[in-house]
Structure 1
Amino acid sequence: MRDDGLERAIDAAGGIAQLARKIGISQPSVSTWTRVPAQRVVAVETATGVPRNDLRPDLYEQAMPAEPVDPVDAARGQEYALLATLLSAPPSKRLLDQLAALGGDATPLGRAHAALADAAARAVPSQVEREYFDLFVGLGRGELLPYASYYLTGFLNERPLSRLRADLTKLGIERIANNSEPEDHVAILCEIMSGLADGGLDASPDAQRAFFNNHVSPWMGRLFADMEGTGNARFYRAVGALGRTFIEIETEAFTFAN
């Protein structure tokens, strides 16, 4: 039996098929859920408007930090959540309109935001959907394979994935049966980092740094650089530039903190 949060999300999306499409996974995977998986909470919240506290109160109420979240960490969480949303499925017209209103400044991240806003303002939803398909899905496979195992070993479902699964178990993040998407997909890892950054997932600063160093830093910047350098994608080049810039900032910050 589905819990109330999942039922609300399905109703808000207009059905199981629509929810699956909005978050970029297969309908059978969503059909097997009894509650929203921890690594999908941010994507479902973004797609449906149902707050994460309602989707998974066990994670986002009991695990709420005692002190208010630092504004920098809250902003980091939002940045990761944005990347997770853009990498889990092509953006809707509504999201493109919201991105077009992003402001920028003279910092590297501010310039990346401004470039993304410009790309969103020029984007045609159907063309962005085609970009996403060609880059990440394709006929047989996409131009890019956004998985840690592939970038670190040249193959899918290798040891980096098994090490990630062991660390997710330590963090209390469950794998849902019959969910075909491996956990080392870039969108899932960004979603997990969002929860670690904004306090939605209960983990110490040392655990957060270790997770980043072990599962994000060794490869994700290269994926974003490849995305930025692709010749046929206009909108997702801007996403790649934003992701590369943000991961560089995160890497420097974690190195300094260490």
Structure 2
Amino acid sequence: MTSLNDFTPTFDDERALRADIYRLLGALLLAAPDVDLLDWLGGLEIEEDDSPLALHWQALARAAANSNPDALTQAHFGHLVGVIQGDVVPYASWYWNGRLMDEPLIVLRRDLRRLGIARAAHSNDPEDHLAALCEVMALLIESASETVNKSEATFFLRHIAPWAERCMADLARVETPFYACLGELGQHFFALERERLVLMDKQDTSSDLIASVSLDTPAGASD
């Protein structure tokens, strides 16, 4: 069994936990969880308190424990992929302008080039899928020095904050309990991140990404 509350986090611990949460959200938006991930989620031990974030984690863990991978594979396709499009279209361009492959994607690609982040050659999906943006955030968090990484705040506020909470709120309304709980958790997490990173963005210090990394954008998550 795994607990999210079994240590007193240091600055580095907190940063690592945030990166892990971004990667988990991205993975669950990208594809249905396999047996191992679903078992891990179902076995999470969350501190019994009344904080909204803890309650959302508890709900996701319960939903995972009562789900099976095959059903979630079908649900993921219906909710987030679809034959034409899913119930939720998790792309920045869609939420900004109601169209895919639009101006927000152009701006995002420019900023990714500045950060030295490149889409993986084998991926054909647009980089503005929320799962890909979560992966970028994890990379930025992990690349931060002991000082504040302003690139992290700037990227989030420019490319995620304007629409991600709405996207996850839409996911929270789907009929599958697991994905509804994922939407509620994601909506609350992004709200907390927005509050945190607005404050970070006001600070003067910054650190730049130096190394170029490869961004694996979602496969099979197009409309």
Tell me what 1:211 maps to.
155
Instruction: Evaluate the alpha carbon distance shift between residue 93 and residue 178 of structure 1 in structure 2; reply closer, same or farther with a 3 A threshold.
Output: closer
Deviation at 1:245, TM superposition (A): 0.8
Q: Runs of 4+ in structure 1 displaced over 6 angstroms?
A: none
What CA distance in whole angstroms lies between the structure 1 residues aligned with 2:176 and 2:63?
11
Could you say what secondary structure the match of 1:229 adopts? coil
Partner of 1:94: 36
Between stretches 244-253 and 103-112, larger displacement belongs to: 103-112
Question: Which of 12, 16, 20 is 1:70 aligned to?
Answer: 12
Q: Aligned pairs, how many? A: 189
Contact 2:92 2:128 in 1 (8 A): yes
Shift of 1:176: 3.8
Q: Does 1:134 align with 2:78?
A: yes
Aligned partners of 1:97 and 1:121 also within 8 Å:
yes
- Asked if 1:252 is matched to 2:185, the reply is no
Using the TM superposition, give the Cα deviation of residue 178 of structure 1 relative to its aligned residue in structure 2, in angstroms: 5.9
Partner residue in 1 for 2:103: 159
TM-score by length of 1: 0.69
Cα RMSD of the aligned pairs, angstroms, is: 1.9
Give distance in 1, aligned partners of 2:102 and 2:67. Answer: 36
DSSP-derived class of the 1:70 partner: helix
- Structure having the higher strand fraction is 2
Structure 1 residues 95-140: Cα deviation after superposition (integer angstroms, max 9, x where no partner): 1000011122322211111111000000011111111000112122
The one-letter amino acid paired with 1:121 is A
Per-residue CA deviations over 1:116-166 (Å, capped at 9, x if unaligned) read 100000001111111100011212211111100000110001110000000
Q: TM-score, normalised by structure 2?
A: 0.80
Matching residue of 1:43: none
Could you tell me how far 1:177 is from its partner in structure 2? Answer: 4.3
Structure whose residues are more often helix by fraction: 1
CA contact (8 A) 1:69 1:198 kept: no
C-alpha separation in 2, matches of 1:179 and 1:165: 14
For residues 176 and 207 of structure 1, the distance between their equivalents in structure 2, rounded to whole angstroms, comes to: 21
Q: Secondary structure at the match of 1:174?
A: strand
Alpha-carbon distance in structure 2 between the residues aligned to 1:236 and 1:159:
29
Letter in 2 for 1:87: L
Query: Runs of 5+ in structure 2 lacking a partner?
Result: 1-9, 203-223
